[in-house]
Amino acid sequence: MSMTVSAAVVREVGLPYPYAQSQPLCIEPVTVDGPGPDQVRVRMASAGLCHSDLNAMSGKRAKPIPAVAGHEGAGVVVAVGEDVTDLAVGDHVVMVFVAACGKCRACVAGRPALCATSWATRADGTLADGTKRFVDANGERLAHWSGISAFAEEIVVARRSVVRIDPDVPLLDAAVFGCAVVTGVGAVLNTARVRPGDVVAVTGLGGVGLSAVMGAVLAGAARIIALDTVPAKLELARELGATDTVDVRDPDAVERVLDLTDGGVDFSFEMAGVLPATRTAYRLVRRGGALVLASLPDPSAALEVPVAAFVSDEKRILGSYMGSAVPARDIPRYVELFRHGRLPVDRLRSQTLPLSRINEGFDRLARGEAVRDVIDFGLGG
Protein backbone atom coordinates (compact mmCIF):
# COMPACT_ATOMS: atom_id res chain seq x y z
CA MET A 1 0.00 0.00 0.00
CA SER A 2 1.30 3.44 -0.95
CA MET A 3 1.32 6.37 1.45
CA THR A 4 2.34 10.02 1.47
CA VAL A 5 5.26 11.16 3.62
CA SER A 6 7.54 14.18 3.93
CA ALA A 7 10.95 13.92 2.31
CA ALA A 8 13.99 16.09 1.52
CA VAL A 9 14.27 16.26 -2.27
CA VAL A 10 17.25 17.49 -4.28
CA ARG A 11 16.22 18.99 -7.63
CA GLU A 12 19.27 21.12 -8.39
CA VAL A 13 22.92 20.73 -7.40
CA GLY A 14 25.47 23.46 -6.88
CA LEU A 15 23.22 25.92 -5.06
CA PRO A 16 25.27 28.38 -3.00
CA TYR A 17 26.05 28.37 0.69
CA PRO A 18 24.40 29.20 3.08
CA TYR A 19 21.97 26.40 2.39
CA ALA A 20 19.39 27.71 4.82
CA GLN A 21 18.84 30.41 2.20
CA SER A 22 19.38 28.56 -1.09
CA GLN A 23 17.45 25.46 0.09
CA PRO A 24 19.08 22.68 -1.96
CA LEU A 25 16.96 20.22 0.02
CA CYS A 26 13.27 20.90 -0.48
CA ILE A 27 10.84 19.38 2.02
CA GLU A 28 8.02 17.95 -0.10
CA PRO A 29 5.19 15.45 0.17
CA VAL A 30 6.07 12.30 -1.76
CA THR A 31 4.30 9.00 -2.21
CA VAL A 32 6.25 5.89 -1.25
CA ASP A 33 5.16 2.54 -2.67
CA GLY A 34 4.69 -0.59 -0.66
CA PRO A 35 7.61 -3.04 -0.68
CA GLY A 36 8.08 -5.34 -3.64
CA PRO A 37 9.70 -8.77 -3.57
CA ASP A 38 12.89 -8.83 -1.49
CA GLN A 39 12.21 -5.30 -0.17
CA VAL A 40 11.22 -3.78 3.15
CA ARG A 41 9.51 -0.57 4.13
CA VAL A 42 11.04 1.26 7.07
CA ARG A 43 9.69 4.04 9.23
CA MET A 44 12.73 6.24 9.75
CA ALA A 45 13.72 7.22 13.27
CA SER A 46 16.99 9.00 12.54
CA ALA A 47 19.28 10.02 9.68
CA GLY A 48 22.82 11.38 9.84
CA LEU A 49 24.07 14.34 7.84
CA CYS A 50 27.24 13.17 6.09
CA HIS A 51 29.87 14.93 3.97
CA SER A 52 29.08 12.52 1.14
CA ASP A 53 25.61 14.07 0.90
CA LEU A 54 27.13 17.54 1.10
CA ASN A 55 29.51 16.74 -1.76
CA ALA A 56 26.64 15.45 -3.88
CA MET A 57 24.50 18.52 -3.13
CA SER A 58 27.36 20.80 -4.15
CA GLY A 59 27.94 18.92 -7.39
CA LYS A 60 31.40 17.60 -6.45
CA ARG A 61 30.20 14.01 -6.76
CA ALA A 62 27.61 13.01 -9.32
CA LYS A 63 24.29 11.71 -8.07
CA PRO A 64 21.05 11.25 -10.05
CA ILE A 65 18.40 13.95 -9.58
CA PRO A 66 15.65 14.66 -8.79
CA ALA A 67 16.11 12.42 -5.80
CA VAL A 68 15.28 11.86 -2.18
CA ALA A 69 18.66 12.32 -0.50
CA GLY A 70 20.43 10.66 2.41
CA HIS A 71 22.15 7.34 3.02
CA GLU A 72 22.86 7.02 6.77
CA GLY A 73 19.99 6.15 9.07
CA ALA A 74 18.06 3.80 11.29
CA GLY A 75 14.41 2.92 11.75
CA VAL A 76 11.75 0.31 12.34
CA VAL A 77 10.40 -2.17 9.78
CA VAL A 78 6.72 -1.51 9.04
CA ALA A 79 6.19 -3.90 6.10
CA VAL A 80 8.07 -6.67 4.33
CA GLY A 81 7.79 -7.80 0.74
CA GLU A 82 7.41 -11.22 -0.73
CA ASP A 83 10.38 -13.53 -0.12
CA VAL A 84 11.56 -11.62 2.97
CA THR A 85 11.48 -14.23 5.71
CA ASP A 86 14.29 -13.13 8.06
CA LEU A 87 12.85 -9.73 9.02
CA ALA A 88 9.54 -8.91 10.67
CA VAL A 89 7.41 -5.85 11.34
CA GLY A 90 8.81 -4.11 14.41
CA ASP A 91 12.45 -5.06 13.83
CA HIS A 92 14.97 -2.25 14.36
CA VAL A 93 17.37 -1.82 11.45
CA VAL A 94 20.39 0.21 10.35
CA MET A 95 20.79 1.29 6.73
CA VAL A 96 23.70 0.00 4.61
CA PHE A 97 24.57 2.11 1.56
CA VAL A 98 25.85 -0.81 -0.54
CA ALA A 99 23.17 -3.44 -1.18
CA ALA A 100 25.58 -6.22 -2.06
CA CYS A 101 24.21 -8.84 -4.45
CA GLY A 102 26.13 -11.74 -2.88
CA LYS A 103 26.90 -13.20 -6.32
CA CYS A 104 29.41 -11.01 -8.16
CA ARG A 105 33.17 -11.55 -8.02
CA ALA A 106 33.67 -8.99 -5.22
CA CYS A 107 30.88 -10.43 -3.09
CA VAL A 108 32.08 -14.00 -3.51
CA ALA A 109 35.57 -12.84 -2.49
CA GLY A 110 34.14 -11.45 0.76
CA ARG A 111 34.32 -7.79 -0.31
CA PRO A 112 30.65 -6.73 -0.53
CA ALA A 113 31.52 -3.02 -0.37
CA LEU A 114 32.84 -3.38 -3.92
CA CYS A 115 29.72 -5.14 -5.26
CA ALA A 116 29.49 -4.44 -8.99
CA THR A 117 25.71 -4.83 -9.14
CA SER A 118 25.15 -2.33 -6.35
CA TRP A 119 27.45 0.24 -7.94
CA ALA A 120 25.47 0.05 -11.20
CA THR A 121 22.06 0.52 -9.58
CA ARG A 122 23.33 3.31 -7.33
CA ALA A 123 24.56 5.19 -10.38
CA ASP A 124 21.08 4.88 -11.91
CA GLY A 125 19.36 5.98 -8.69
CA THR A 126 17.32 2.79 -8.44
CA LEU A 127 16.96 0.00 -5.93
CA ALA A 128 18.54 -3.38 -6.55
CA ASP A 129 15.62 -4.51 -8.73
CA GLY A 130 15.90 -1.45 -10.98
CA THR A 131 12.79 0.30 -9.63
CA LYS A 132 12.20 3.69 -8.04
CA ARG A 133 9.71 3.67 -5.17
CA PHE A 134 9.12 7.42 -4.63
CA VAL A 135 6.68 9.55 -6.65
CA ASP A 136 6.39 13.35 -6.28
CA ALA A 137 3.23 15.47 -6.42
CA ASN A 138 3.54 15.76 -10.20
CA GLY A 139 3.72 12.00 -10.72
CA GLU A 140 7.48 11.93 -11.43
CA ARG A 141 9.56 9.06 -10.09
CA LEU A 142 12.38 10.22 -7.81
CA ALA A 143 15.80 8.61 -7.62
CA HIS A 144 17.21 6.96 -4.51
CA TRP A 145 20.60 8.02 -3.17
CA SER A 146 22.78 4.99 -2.47
CA GLY A 147 19.71 2.78 -2.58
CA ILE A 148 18.51 4.34 0.69
CA SER A 149 17.13 7.93 0.58
CA ALA A 150 17.23 8.26 4.34
CA PHE A 151 15.83 11.80 4.46
CA ALA A 152 12.19 10.70 4.31
CA GLU A 153 9.71 9.69 6.98
CA GLU A 154 9.29 6.26 5.37
CA ILE A 155 11.43 4.53 2.76
CA VAL A 156 11.47 1.32 0.77
CA VAL A 157 14.82 -0.40 0.38
CA ALA A 158 16.23 -3.73 -0.72
CA ARG A 159 16.44 -6.35 2.00
CA ARG A 160 20.23 -6.26 1.63
CA SER A 161 20.26 -2.53 2.47
CA VAL A 162 19.45 -3.10 6.14
CA VAL A 163 21.01 -4.89 9.08
CA ARG A 164 18.87 -5.82 12.07
CA ILE A 165 20.11 -4.55 15.45
CA ASP A 166 19.24 -5.09 19.08
CA PRO A 167 16.09 -3.11 19.93
CA ASP A 168 17.60 -1.69 23.11
CA VAL A 169 20.04 0.46 21.09
CA PRO A 170 18.73 4.05 20.97
CA LEU A 171 17.65 4.72 17.40
CA LEU A 172 19.06 8.26 17.47
CA ASP A 173 22.49 6.72 18.05
CA ALA A 174 21.97 3.79 15.70
CA ALA A 175 21.95 5.95 12.54
CA VAL A 176 25.72 6.44 12.46
CA PHE A 177 26.58 2.73 12.49
CA GLY A 178 25.74 2.34 8.80
CA CYS A 179 28.20 4.95 7.51
CA ALA A 180 30.44 6.85 9.94
CA VAL A 181 31.12 3.95 12.29
CA VAL A 182 31.36 1.11 9.79
CA THR A 183 33.66 3.26 7.62
CA GLY A 184 35.94 4.67 10.31
CA VAL A 185 36.23 1.67 12.61
CA GLY A 186 36.38 -0.66 9.61
CA ALA A 187 39.25 1.27 8.04
CA VAL A 188 41.28 0.57 11.18
CA LEU A 189 40.25 -3.01 11.89
CA ASN A 190 39.58 -4.39 8.39
CA THR A 191 41.62 -2.37 5.89
CA ALA A 192 44.73 -1.51 7.90
CA ARG A 193 44.43 -4.31 10.46
CA VAL A 194 46.10 -2.19 13.09
CA ARG A 195 47.80 -4.31 15.73
CA PRO A 196 48.46 -3.70 19.42
CA GLY A 197 51.42 -1.37 19.76
CA ASP A 198 51.08 0.28 16.35
CA VAL A 199 51.27 4.06 16.05
CA VAL A 200 48.53 5.77 14.04
CA ALA A 201 47.47 9.25 12.96
CA VAL A 202 43.98 10.34 11.94
CA THR A 203 43.61 13.49 9.85
CA GLY A 204 40.08 14.92 9.73
CA LEU A 205 37.88 14.51 12.79
CA GLY A 206 34.36 14.31 11.50
CA GLY A 207 32.15 11.32 12.19
CA VAL A 208 34.36 8.95 10.18
CA GLY A 209 37.64 10.27 11.57
CA LEU A 210 36.52 10.12 15.18
CA SER A 211 35.21 6.61 14.54
CA ALA A 212 38.71 5.75 13.35
CA VAL A 213 40.12 7.13 16.61
CA MET A 214 37.75 4.82 18.53
CA GLY A 215 38.73 1.96 16.25
CA ALA A 216 42.40 2.55 16.99
CA VAL A 217 41.63 2.40 20.71
CA LEU A 218 39.88 -0.94 20.17
CA ALA A 219 42.86 -2.22 18.18
CA GLY A 220 45.27 -1.42 20.99
CA ALA A 221 47.29 1.23 19.17
CA ALA A 222 50.10 2.52 21.39
CA ARG A 223 49.81 6.09 20.16
CA ILE A 224 46.89 7.77 18.44
CA ILE A 225 47.54 11.23 17.02
CA ALA A 226 44.48 13.21 15.95
CA LEU A 227 44.77 16.14 13.53
CA ASP A 228 42.19 18.78 12.62
CA THR A 229 41.65 22.55 12.52
CA VAL A 230 38.76 22.73 15.00
CA PRO A 231 39.74 22.88 18.70
CA ALA A 232 36.48 21.32 19.88
CA LYS A 233 37.02 18.29 17.63
CA LEU A 234 40.58 17.91 18.87
CA GLU A 235 39.30 17.96 22.44
CA LEU A 236 36.64 15.35 21.64
CA ALA A 237 39.30 13.16 20.02
CA ARG A 238 41.27 13.23 23.29
CA GLU A 239 38.15 12.28 25.23
CA LEU A 240 37.62 9.35 22.86
CA GLY A 241 41.16 8.04 23.30
CA ALA A 242 43.62 10.04 21.20
CA THR A 243 46.95 10.29 23.01
CA ASP A 244 48.02 13.45 21.16
CA THR A 245 46.31 16.19 19.17
CA VAL A 246 47.77 18.52 16.56
CA ASP A 247 46.19 21.58 14.97
CA VAL A 248 47.03 21.33 11.27
CA ARG A 249 46.90 25.11 10.95
CA ASP A 250 50.28 25.07 12.69
CA PRO A 251 52.91 25.33 9.92
CA ASP A 252 55.05 22.89 11.89
CA ALA A 253 52.25 20.32 12.33
CA VAL A 254 53.92 17.60 10.28
CA GLU A 255 57.27 18.08 12.00
CA ARG A 256 55.56 17.87 15.38
CA VAL A 257 54.07 14.49 14.50
CA LEU A 258 57.37 13.21 13.13
CA ASP A 259 59.08 14.26 16.36
CA LEU A 260 56.38 12.65 18.51
CA THR A 261 56.73 9.36 16.63
CA ASP A 262 60.47 9.21 15.96
CA GLY A 263 60.02 9.47 12.22
CA GLY A 264 56.39 8.77 11.40
CA VAL A 265 53.40 6.55 12.01
CA ASP A 266 52.63 2.98 11.02
CA PHE A 267 49.22 3.94 9.64
CA SER A 268 48.07 7.41 8.63
CA PHE A 269 44.30 7.65 8.10
CA GLU A 270 43.03 10.49 5.89
CA MET A 271 39.38 11.21 6.67
CA ALA A 272 38.90 14.85 5.59
CA GLY A 273 38.32 14.37 1.85
CA VAL A 274 40.40 17.36 0.73
CA LEU A 275 43.74 17.24 -1.06
CA PRO A 276 45.77 19.30 1.47
CA ALA A 277 44.76 16.83 4.17
CA THR A 278 45.78 13.92 1.95
CA ARG A 279 49.20 15.47 1.38
CA THR A 280 49.60 16.03 5.11
CA ALA A 281 48.55 12.49 5.95
CA TYR A 282 51.03 11.04 3.44
CA ARG A 283 53.92 13.00 4.95
CA LEU A 284 53.25 11.38 8.33
CA VAL A 285 53.91 7.82 7.09
CA ARG A 286 57.15 6.21 8.26
CA ARG A 287 59.24 3.78 6.23
CA GLY A 288 57.25 0.56 5.97
CA GLY A 289 54.02 2.33 6.87
CA ALA A 290 50.77 2.93 5.00
CA LEU A 291 48.49 5.79 4.07
CA VAL A 292 44.85 4.73 4.37
CA LEU A 293 42.33 6.76 2.36
CA ALA A 294 38.72 6.42 3.51
CA SER A 295 37.21 9.79 2.56
CA LEU A 296 35.62 10.75 -0.75
CA PRO A 297 37.39 13.76 -2.30
CA ASP A 298 36.56 15.57 -5.51
CA PRO A 299 37.01 12.93 -8.26
CA SER A 300 39.46 15.24 -10.05
CA ALA A 301 41.80 15.41 -7.04
CA ALA A 302 45.21 13.82 -7.69
CA LEU A 303 48.05 13.07 -5.28
CA GLU A 304 51.62 13.24 -6.54
CA VAL A 305 53.99 11.01 -4.59
CA PRO A 306 57.58 9.87 -5.21
CA VAL A 307 57.30 6.45 -6.79
CA ALA A 308 60.70 5.34 -5.50
CA ALA A 309 59.43 5.49 -1.92
CA PHE A 310 57.11 2.58 -2.61
CA VAL A 311 60.19 0.45 -3.27
CA SER A 312 62.99 1.82 -1.12
CA ASP A 313 60.76 2.67 1.85
CA GLU A 314 58.13 -0.02 1.28
CA LYS A 315 55.38 2.56 1.76
CA ARG A 316 51.83 1.67 0.78
CA ILE A 317 48.60 3.47 -0.05
CA LEU A 318 45.43 1.57 0.88
CA GLY A 319 41.94 2.46 -0.25
CA SER A 320 39.11 1.76 2.17
CA TYR A 321 35.50 1.95 1.04
CA MET A 322 32.80 1.41 3.68
CA GLY A 323 35.58 0.26 5.99
CA SER A 324 36.21 -2.84 3.83
CA ALA A 325 33.24 -4.13 5.80
CA VAL A 326 30.99 -7.12 5.70
CA PRO A 327 28.04 -5.21 7.18
CA ALA A 328 26.04 -8.24 8.34
CA ARG A 329 29.10 -9.31 10.33
CA ASP A 330 30.59 -5.97 11.40
CA ILE A 331 27.61 -3.79 12.33
CA PRO A 332 26.27 -6.22 14.96
CA ARG A 333 29.81 -6.46 16.38
CA TYR A 334 30.13 -2.69 16.63
CA VAL A 335 26.67 -2.44 18.17
CA GLU A 336 27.68 -4.94 20.87
CA LEU A 337 30.83 -2.94 21.59
CA PHE A 338 28.66 0.15 21.94
CA ARG A 339 26.23 -1.63 24.26
CA HIS A 340 29.13 -2.61 26.52
CA GLY A 341 30.64 0.87 26.61
CA ARG A 342 33.68 0.15 24.45
CA LEU A 343 32.60 2.11 21.37
CA PRO A 344 30.94 5.35 22.55
CA VAL A 345 29.39 6.37 19.25
CA ASP A 346 26.77 8.46 21.05
CA ARG A 347 29.56 11.04 21.50
CA LEU A 348 29.54 11.64 17.74
CA ARG A 349 26.07 13.22 17.75
CA SER A 350 26.45 17.00 17.75
CA GLN A 351 22.74 17.82 17.86
CA THR A 352 19.37 16.60 16.65
CA LEU A 353 17.21 18.49 14.18
CA PRO A 354 13.74 18.07 12.69
CA LEU A 355 13.59 17.34 8.97
CA SER A 356 12.39 20.91 8.37
CA ARG A 357 15.80 22.25 9.48
CA ILE A 358 17.96 19.92 7.42
CA ASN A 359 19.50 22.73 5.35
CA GLU A 360 20.66 24.43 8.56
CA GLY A 361 22.35 21.19 9.54
CA PHE A 362 24.29 21.09 6.30
CA ASP A 363 25.39 24.68 6.90
CA ARG A 364 26.85 23.54 10.23
CA LEU A 365 28.57 20.64 8.50
CA ALA A 366 30.02 22.93 5.80
CA ARG A 367 31.39 25.28 8.49
CA GLY A 368 33.07 22.40 10.31
CA GLU A 369 30.93 22.91 13.43
CA ALA A 370 29.23 19.51 13.46
CA VAL A 371 30.60 16.02 13.88
CA ARG A 372 27.26 14.35 13.14
CA ASP A 373 23.99 16.25 13.24
CA VAL A 374 21.12 13.77 13.20
CA ILE A 375 17.59 14.21 11.89
CA ASP A 376 15.06 13.12 14.49
CA PHE A 377 11.85 11.90 12.83
CA GLY A 378 10.05 11.76 16.16
CA LEU A 379 9.76 8.00 16.36
CA GLY A 380 11.40 7.89 19.78
CA GLY A 381 14.34 5.89 21.05
Residue 23, SS3 per DSSP: coil
CATH assignment of 3-164+344-376, given 3.90.180.10, 3.40.50.2300, 3.40.920.10, 3.30.70.1350? 3.90.180.10
Residue 165, SS3 per DSSP: coil
Q: For the chain, which ranges sit under pLDDT 50?
A: none
pTM: 0.97
Domain ranges of the chain: 3-164+344-376, 183-321
H runs (alpha helix) in the chain: 19-22, 51-58, 105-108, 116-124, 171-174, 180-186, 207-219, 231-239, 253-260, 275-283, 308-312, 327-339, 358-366
pLDDT for 296 equals 87
pLDDT for 381 equals 62
pLDDT for 379 equals 87
pLDDT for 60 equals 87
**What's the start-to-end Cα distance of the chain, in Å?**
26
pLDDT for 192 equals 98
pLDDT for 300 equals 87
Helix orientation angle between 253-260 and 275-283, rounded to the nearest 10 degrees: 30
What's 183-321's CATH class? alpha beta
